[in-house]
Structure 1
């Protein structure tokens, strides 16, 4: 019994699940898990060594292992293996749950980023549409203002041209009136001059005829008839007066 207690005391103590520190995400510390596996490996190795020692002692006949000790060692190993399997399963479940949560968080974060990106794109599109509408409205307003300004300038130029045309027409009418009056005055002066010249010529002709008749000794009757016929021919037509006016050298 003393040797059995010494063998059990020399075994490496097995770690428990409560001794393993946990992380913030719910899993165990990887370094401590490695140390726990290493402790189980050393404990298993020590048990194998003790089993070989007991088997060798049984063959030599020096020590006879009791069935109770063998059963206790086997139960201890089975319990340790079951605890280790439970720990590994819980750790795997915890790690998978943590990984699943991290995956869900990553997917949610990516979805939120995608939604934010879509919202940003939508805001950018709306802002672009608003700016395009503002630019289009500004261009339309500028075009309307330019058209109205052009129409005002055209109307002003048309009015100015009409005013200039009216002034030129009035000046032309005034000049035409002046020219007409001047030509009429010149024609009247020419007619007066022609009439005066014709009267002078007729007077000289009458005087010459009277002198000739007196020298010829004709009577008063013949002289009177000649005088009346001569006076009847004094009225010249308009063409004769104009010809005399155009040809003043005919005097």
Structure 2
């Protein structure tokens, strides 16, 4: 299968030509609906599944992330995740979209070298769950290096939506308080920021539903996060039933749930 692929060299792209087993061919980029990459979902909460990401979905996802993190050409991005990780790749795409500078690093080991964090604007945190006390201890430990509590960016993402979904980061604060704009819930730092007063609402719908009934839960209750957006992937290779379950889910109304319950009990409708 790999022998049939067209390998693209960056030097060839400059001339809008690519080399293949058929010689030199014209190259005009890919369309939004063309397959961009296949990435595996995390195996932390289930069986890893390959999900296809189109070029349009990837472009939409990084545009939303760039806007959420307020990235511009004068931004310097310092990612440490490997480039084969979905977030590691996301940082490279964010660099391209925002015109920023990216300094690629490996995982940071403990050391004694002096560091300065006075210019740090965004410290993106993507582990699950994000404990408020742990982040506060980290901020307190690095406060004398210039780390501001306002730069912490608890964030959420998943491979089925490209990568990025939401962040609780709100920008700089003036009073220096810990997490002045990030409320906590059950000792956790939420990651959601659907829209702000100074931004237009993105075309990304996020709801929380009851995992068993597929009914919307009331605010403050735990549930399963559902995301509908142009960033959505287009299925699961080799798992058609899971693809229907994950990418074609629908919210049930209270009436539909009641009717379904009656049918199970043998009531005629």
TM superposition score normalised by structure 1: 0.20
| Structure number with bigger Rg | 1
TM-score normalised by L of structure 2: 0.19
Q: Per residue, is there more helix in 1 or in 2?
A: 1
Higher strand proportion = 2
